[in-house]
Amino acid sequence: MGYYIVFQTEYSEIIFSTITEVIITMFNTQHNIPKSELKSRIRKLQSGMVEKNISGALIMQNTDLYYFSGTAQQGQLYIPFEGMPLLMVQKELDRAKAESAIENIVSIDSPSQIPDCLKQNKIDMPLNIGLELDVLPTALYFKIQKLFPTTGIVDISDQIRMIRAVKSDWELDIIEEASLLADQVAEGAQEFIKEGIPEIELAGKIEAFARKLGHQGIIRMRLWGSELFYGHLMAGASAAVPSYLSSPTGGTGVSTAIAQGPGHRPIQRNEPILVDYVFALRGYLADHTRIFSLGELPEDLMAAYDAMLTIQEMVKKIALPGISTGDVYEAAIKKAAELGYADYFMGAGEKRIRFIGHGVGLELDEFPFLAKNQKLKLQKNMVIALEPKLIFPGKGVVGIENTHVVTEKGLRQLTRFKEEITIL
């Protein structure tokens, strides 16, 4: 039996027969992940499961769920090593059906019903089951153990992250669009930078501008305990204040509860203003840093900034498919030392960050990491935010960050706002 929903507008009534119709009408379904895209991703995971003798995978983390199902509605996606996946939704079923191209979508009240749901859909109980153990809460792990008492549990997070690390053409198109919008944010920032404006107020103005461009707001990160709100906007000495975040920049933040990002310090003249923002569009991210200044910067900071541009250009040339990510990192470290900046590159002191770049996609900390001791080899169509930066305690931060895609000729830069320091 159908049912009807009536929306009263200023001019007329609009009648829909189902909630699904409402959702399809209200949301731009051309932005849904194509069915062919989902099938390709699932096939890749199933191939890896066969190689590792994994019977099935239960996808529960929001970002992975969206990646493989096309919806982030509350639920679980079961992917057998062969055959069709099953999406089990607690909330909201109609919206999940409107958003996802998965064919088998059913309603359940809680994860406790997963085993019975699999049986009802003629799916054999797995001998072992792959879970995202890098992010799965312990309580949920124990719950799955009880639900599948005779089933072994294995970690499938690395396989998932490696599939996600290599972007499809469909994903690259969105990331390129996000990169263009990141450039627009940097362009727009110039309008709001004024002497005496507090960092937090300036950040709010730039973030509101980003929202007008379509920024989704949420910046997803995988590492437990990591959080980021748009990015980092700090100036002068406050930009060089370290924090707990796995980032070369920290910032005072507005309180000890946040302990990162912009604070209440007013913007001053002749100091580097760090505008390090992530643009998030339709789930996908582009990371971007530019330096601004009200008036000229001291010559030593200008020279340091030029050194970071030199390192960026070197890395773009050597970051070819097949090279170890650890080797790229070591080459950058060596170059920073040759240029005389070893003590300030990617942080000051022993607690400096041991990477110069990171993968980006649906999350800000995806594979690969251009980091110390990493053995992962670069592959074509990986997307990397390369961020050579210098941290000078008491003075500020200078550096550059751009989002790139790995090609056969090196890194192709996607964010293209002018790279020289913008003097206002």
Question: 235 pairs with which residues across the strands?
Answer: 273
Nearest to 399 by CA among 294, 296, 292: 292
Return the amino acid letter for 191.
E
Residue-by-residue pLDDT tens, the chain, 424 positions: 444 555 555 555 555 556 656 655 555 667 899 999 999 999 999 999 999 999 999 999 999 999 999 999 999 999 999 999 999 999 999 999 999 999 999 999 999 999 999 999 999 999 999 999 999 999 999 999 999 999 999 999 999 999 999 999 999 999 999 999 999 999 999 999 999 999 999 999 999 999 999 999 999 999 999 999 999 999 999 999 999 998 999 999 999 999 999 999 999 999 999 999 999 999 999 999 999 999 999 999 999 999 999 999 999 999 999 999 999 999 999 999 999 999 999 999 888 999 999 999 999 999 999 999 999 999 999 999 999 999 999 999 999 999 999 999 999 999 999 999 999 9
Q: How far, in Å, are 63, 222, 256 from residue 68 at the CA level?
A: 9, 16, 37
Please give the DSSP secondary-structure letter assigned to residue 112.
G
How far apart CA 170 and CA 307 sit, in angstroms, is 35
Burial 149-174 (b: 16+ CB within 10 A, else e): eebebbebbebbbbbbbbbeeebbeb
> What radius of gyration do the chain's Cα atoms show?
24
Please tell me the predicted confidence (pLDDT) of residue 18. 62
Residue pair 94/23 in contact by the 8 Å Cβ criterion: yes
**At 177, is the secondary structure helix, strand, or coil?**
helix
How far apart CA 276 and CA 270 sit, in angstroms, is 18
Q: What is the CATH number of domain 166-423?
A: 3.90.230.10
Nearest to 416 by CA among 229, 228, 181: 181
Return the amino acid letter for 165.
A
Nearest to 175 by CA among 283, 319, 38, 29: 283
Residue pair 157/132 in contact by the 8 Å Cβ criterion: yes
Is omega for the bond preceding 92 within 30 degrees of 0, making it cis? yes
Backbone phi and psi for residue 311, each to the nearest 5 degrees, phi listed first: -65, -40
Q: Indicate left, alpha or beta for 309 from its phi (over 0: left) and psi (-120 to 50: alpha).
A: alpha
Nearest to 245 by CA among 234, 263, 236, 258: 258
For the chain, domain boundaries: 1-29, 32-163, 166-423
Please tell me the predicted confidence (pLDDT) of residue 8. 55
Please tell me the predicted confidence (pLDDT) of residue 236. 97
Please tell me the predicted confidence (pLDDT) of residue 398. 98
How far apart CA 108 and CA 93 sit, in angstroms, is 9
In the numeric block, the tokens 């999350």 are attached to 363
Question: 121 pairs with which residues across the strands?
Answer: none
Residue pair 253/243 in contact by the 8 Å Cβ criterion: yes
Nearest to 396 by CA among 278, 180, 248: 248
How far apart CA 384 and CA 398 sit, in angstroms, is 20
Backbone phi and psi for residue 158, each to the nearest 5 degrees, phi listed first: -65, -40
Q: Indicate left, alpha or beta for 356 from its phi (over 0: left) and psi (-120 to 50: alpha).
A: alpha
Nearest to 317 by CA among 406, 205, 212: 406
Compute the residue count for the chain. Answer: 424
Nearest to 56 by CA among 130, 162, 153, 113: 130
Residue pair 91/65 in contact by the 8 Å Cβ criterion: no
Nearest to 332 by CA among 271, 289, 384: 384
Q: In the CATH scheme, what is the homologous superfamily, with its name and number, of domain 32-163?
A: Creatinase/prolidase N-terminal domain (3.40.350.10)
How far apart CA 285 and CA 277 sit, in angstroms, is 10
